Amino acid sequence: MRTLAILIIGACTLFYSSCETDHTSQKYLLNLSDHTLNISYFDSYYYEQVTSEISPQNSLLITETWTRGSQEEGNLSSCILYVEDTVSVFNTSDSTLNFTGNFTNENRWQSQFTSGASSRQVCTFAFVNNDFTE
Protein backbone atom coordinates (compact mmCIF):
# COMPACT_ATOMS: atom_id res chain seq x y z
CA MET A 1 0.00 0.00 0.00
CA ARG A 2 2.83 2.38 0.85
CA THR A 3 4.51 1.62 -2.49
CA LEU A 4 1.28 2.45 -4.32
CA ALA A 5 0.98 5.80 -2.49
CA ILE A 6 4.59 6.70 -3.40
CA LEU A 7 3.96 5.70 -7.00
CA ILE A 8 0.81 7.86 -7.20
CA ILE A 9 2.55 10.88 -5.62
CA GLY A 10 5.51 10.48 -7.96
CA ALA A 11 3.26 10.22 -11.02
CA CYS A 12 1.28 13.32 -9.99
CA THR A 13 4.46 15.31 -9.41
CA LEU A 14 5.84 14.30 -12.79
CA PHE A 15 2.53 15.10 -14.49
CA TYR A 16 2.21 18.59 -12.97
CA SER A 17 5.82 19.57 -13.64
CA SER A 18 5.60 18.49 -17.28
CA CYS A 19 2.49 20.65 -17.87
CA GLU A 20 4.09 23.93 -16.83
CA THR A 21 4.15 26.43 -19.70
CA ASP A 22 6.12 29.60 -20.34
CA HIS A 23 6.54 32.33 -22.94
CA THR A 24 9.71 34.15 -23.99
CA SER A 25 9.64 37.40 -25.93
CA GLN A 26 12.82 38.87 -27.46
CA LYS A 27 13.53 42.06 -29.41
CA TYR A 28 16.58 42.29 -31.67
CA LEU A 29 18.10 45.11 -33.66
CA LEU A 30 19.69 43.86 -36.91
CA ASN A 31 22.15 46.05 -38.79
CA LEU A 32 21.66 45.59 -42.53
CA SER A 33 23.15 49.01 -43.25
CA ASP A 34 26.72 49.75 -44.33
CA HIS A 35 27.37 51.65 -41.08
CA THR A 36 28.72 50.71 -37.67
CA LEU A 37 26.19 51.82 -35.05
CA ASN A 38 26.25 52.58 -31.34
CA ILE A 39 22.98 51.65 -29.67
CA SER A 40 22.12 53.04 -26.26
CA TYR A 41 19.20 51.38 -24.47
CA PHE A 42 17.83 50.69 -21.02
CA ASP A 43 18.50 47.15 -19.80
CA SER A 44 15.51 46.37 -17.58
CA TYR A 45 17.12 43.20 -16.18
CA TYR A 46 20.15 45.03 -14.77
CA TYR A 47 18.22 48.31 -14.49
CA GLU A 48 20.90 50.39 -16.21
CA GLN A 49 21.60 52.25 -19.43
CA VAL A 50 23.80 50.21 -21.80
CA THR A 51 25.67 51.21 -24.97
CA SER A 52 26.64 48.53 -27.47
CA GLU A 53 28.15 48.59 -30.93
CA ILE A 54 26.63 46.76 -33.89
CA SER A 55 28.75 46.31 -36.98
CA PRO A 56 27.10 45.68 -40.38
CA GLN A 57 25.37 42.28 -40.65
CA ASN A 58 25.29 41.78 -36.86
CA SER A 59 22.44 41.98 -34.38
CA LEU A 60 21.87 42.97 -30.77
CA LEU A 61 19.34 41.58 -28.28
CA ILE A 62 17.90 44.59 -26.45
CA THR A 63 14.98 43.11 -24.50
CA GLU A 64 14.01 39.67 -23.30
CA THR A 65 11.05 38.87 -21.12
CA TRP A 66 9.88 35.58 -19.70
CA THR A 67 6.42 34.88 -18.33
CA ARG A 68 4.58 31.84 -17.08
CA GLY A 69 1.92 30.52 -19.38
CA SER A 70 2.27 29.87 -23.07
CA GLN A 71 0.88 32.42 -25.56
CA GLU A 72 -1.15 31.97 -28.70
CA GLU A 73 -0.18 33.82 -31.86
CA GLY A 74 -3.35 35.92 -31.84
CA ASN A 75 -2.64 37.20 -28.30
CA LEU A 76 0.96 38.37 -28.74
CA SER A 77 2.14 41.79 -27.64
CA SER A 78 3.27 44.32 -30.20
CA CYS A 79 6.86 44.29 -31.38
CA ILE A 80 7.27 48.07 -31.43
CA LEU A 81 9.50 50.03 -29.07
CA TYR A 82 7.88 52.88 -27.20
CA VAL A 83 9.32 56.31 -26.40
CA GLU A 84 9.84 55.19 -22.79
CA ASP A 85 12.09 52.36 -24.01
CA THR A 86 14.72 55.07 -24.59
CA VAL A 87 16.66 53.52 -27.45
CA SER A 88 19.03 55.88 -29.24
CA VAL A 89 21.14 55.22 -32.33
CA PHE A 90 24.41 56.89 -33.27
CA ASN A 91 26.16 56.27 -36.58
CA THR A 92 29.86 55.87 -35.72
CA SER A 93 30.89 55.33 -39.35
CA ASP A 94 29.60 58.75 -40.41
CA SER A 95 28.62 61.19 -37.66
CA THR A 96 26.92 63.51 -40.21
CA LEU A 97 24.19 60.92 -40.72
CA ASN A 98 21.32 60.81 -38.22
CA PHE A 99 18.96 57.91 -37.57
CA THR A 100 15.51 58.76 -38.95
CA GLY A 101 13.93 55.30 -38.73
CA ASN A 102 10.86 54.70 -36.61
CA PHE A 103 10.87 52.03 -33.88
CA THR A 104 7.14 52.64 -33.31
CA ASN A 105 6.18 51.61 -36.86
CA GLU A 106 4.85 48.04 -36.64
CA ASN A 107 5.59 47.50 -40.35
CA ARG A 108 9.32 47.88 -39.70
CA TRP A 109 9.36 44.92 -37.31
CA GLN A 110 9.45 41.26 -38.29
CA SER A 111 7.85 38.86 -35.83
CA GLN A 112 8.51 35.13 -35.64
CA PHE A 113 6.42 32.98 -33.34
CA THR A 114 6.97 29.42 -32.15
CA SER A 115 4.03 27.80 -30.37
CA GLY A 116 4.05 25.03 -27.81
CA ALA A 117 4.36 24.59 -24.07
CA SER A 118 7.32 26.97 -24.25
CA SER A 119 6.12 29.54 -26.76
CA ARG A 120 8.54 32.14 -28.14
CA GLN A 121 8.18 35.42 -30.01
CA VAL A 122 11.22 36.98 -31.67
CA CYS A 123 10.85 40.56 -32.96
CA THR A 124 13.51 42.05 -35.23
CA PHE A 125 14.00 45.63 -36.42
CA ALA A 126 16.41 45.89 -39.36
CA PHE A 127 18.47 49.04 -39.92
CA VAL A 128 18.94 49.88 -43.62
CA ASN A 129 20.95 52.65 -45.29
CA ASN A 130 17.77 54.71 -45.89
CA ASP A 131 17.34 55.02 -42.11
CA PHE A 132 20.22 57.52 -42.02
CA THR A 133 20.09 61.03 -43.47
CA GLU A 134 22.08 64.26 -43.11
Q: Is the distance from CB of 54 to CB of 37 less than 8 angstroms?
A: yes
Per-residue model confidence (pLDDT) at position 106: 92
Helix H or strand E segment including 15:
helix 2-18
Q: DSSP character for 46?
A: T
Per-residue model confidence (pLDDT) at position 45: 76
pTM of the model: 0.79
Indicate the range of 1-5, 15-19, 21-25 predicted with least confidence. 15-19
Query: pLDDT averaged over the chain?
Result: 84
Beta strands (DSSP E) in 1-134 are: 22-31, 37-43, 48-54, 59-68, 88-91, 98-99, 109-114, 118-127, 132-133
The answer to whether residue 57 scores a pLDDT higher than 90 is: yes
The mean pLDDT of 115-125, rounded to a whole number, is 89
The mean pLDDT of 30-57, rounded to a whole number, is 92
Distance in angstroms (rounded) separating the CA atoms of residues 23 and 132? 34
Distance in angstroms (rounded) separating the CA atoms of residues 71 and 65? 13
